[in-house]
Amino acid sequence: MRLYHSPTSPYVRKVMVLLAETGLTGVHPVPASGTPVDPGSMPLDQNPLGKIPSLERDDGPALYDSRVICRYLDSLAGSGLYPDAPRLWDSLTVEATADGILDAAVLMVYETRVRPADLRFAPWVEGQWAKVDRALDAVESRWIDHLNGALDIGQIAVGCALGYLDFRHDSRGWRESRPSLDQWYATFSTRNSMTATQPPA
Ligand SMILES: N[C@@H](CCC(=O)N[C@@H](CS)C(=O)NCC(=O)O)C(=O)O
């Protein structure tokens, strides 16, 4: 299988962390890059949305969206990163919360990197950060017990989201007023799967 990949994409990182945690082999990274205004080398034939990660398979159409790819690879590996219900609903909600943090954080980056300066709208950027802020507060107040439980896709997604905030939005200081999440990430980020997939400096 071929995984369209960028070392700076936090969604790709979710897949790479899952691969490292499960030990699944046979997935080969293929470099891809692009933006909403220039798809560049994005795999448009595989994913009409022009986004990564996308997973090309030998025996079926390409899969896309990190949530679909992660679930597919977990099922191939039989690794149980998606627990049985009712815990499953918590795992998926934690993953959705982390992915929502990423969606807002990535849009903020595009705003400064892709949109011309004279077309930028600061309140829109702050509105995106407000989403991140609220979601982090929800994880801090509601989901710490879940994060401290058995490894699952929710933890992987939160780990990749926090890693991306450190990578692109360090100056926002997400750790302030979130001591439990800070402590959890200090441990989680030392896993081999996380250190091996750190975005380049
Ligand atoms: N919901 C998607 C989001 C993927 C995504 O937005 N990836 C970014 C790279 S970090 C991308 O491909 N951006 C190009 C674009 O939006 O055109 C997922 O979870 O895979």
Distance 177 CA to ligand 1 centre (A): 29
Angle CA 86–89–91, to nearest 5: 110
Give me the chain's average pLDDT, please: 98
- Taking alpha carbons only, the member of 138, 139, 125 closest to residue 172 is 125
CB 87 within 8 A of CB 145: no
Share of the chain above pLDDT 90, in %: 99
Is any ligand 1 atom within 6 A of the Cβ of residue 192?
A: no
Residue 201 has pLDDT above 90, yes or no: no
pLDDT of residue 118: 96
pLDDT of residue 149: 98
| Antiparallel, parallel or unpaired: β 2-5 and 54-56 | antiparallel
Residue 119 has pLDDT above 90, yes or no: yes
Residue 191 has pLDDT above 90, yes or no: yes
- Tell me: the pLDDT tens digits for 66-97? 999 999 999 999 999 999 999 999 999 999 99
Q: Angle, to 10 degrees, between the axis of helix 179-188 and the axis of helix 153-168?
A: 100
Element (H, E) at 163: helix 153-168
Is any ligand 1 atom within 6 A of the Cβ of residue 43?
A: no
pLDDT band at 125 (very low <50, low <70, confident <90, very high): very high
Residue 104 has pLDDT above 90, yes or no: yes
Q: What is the mean predicted confidence (pLDDT) over 9-30?
A: 98
CB 15 within 8 A of CB 3: yes
- Taking alpha carbons only, the member of 130, 194, 117, 120 closest to residue 162 is 194
Distance 51 CA to ligand 1 centre (A): 4
Is any ligand 1 atom within 6 A of the Cβ of residue 13?
A: no
